[in-house]
Amino acid sequence: AVLVEKILRVQPDVKKIYLPVRAVDAAAAKHRVETEVVGKELFGLLREKHGDGFQSFIGVKIVPLAGDVMREDFGVDSETLRELRVTQELDVIVNGAATTNFYER
């Protein structure tokens, strides 16, 4: 959430941020992003700046991707993967996945 907020605040001309989240489908991914990322107090400055247009701004900039990094192709459906592979607008990939099991090897 911190990285997403910072990018949107200091680089408002960024076209899209594809945000993979563990979810069973697109609706669940969207809900998770809304509640666990942009729904946080951290996005207060952006909410103030955009006012009533905040949700529209977020809807254009953030693309939730339903998936799971433990699965092949991160669990992202094949159609979405094809779209990501052919786009000329994908510049950077940041992997923020981590385990929460502190007993991992």
pLDDT tens sequence across 8-62: 999 988 988 988 888 888 899 999 999 999 999 999 999 999 999 999 999 999 9
Pair of tokens at residue 95: 């992997």
The H or E element containing residue 91 is none
Between CA 63 and CA 30 the distance in angstroms is 8
pLDDT at 46: 96
**Residue 75 pLDDT class (50, 70, 90 cuts):** confident
Domain borders along the chain are 2-86
For the cut 90, the answer to whether the pLDDT of residue 77 exceeds it is no
**Residue 3 pLDDT class (50, 70, 90 cuts):** very high
pLDDT at 73: 84
- Segment 64-78 shows an average pLDDT of 84
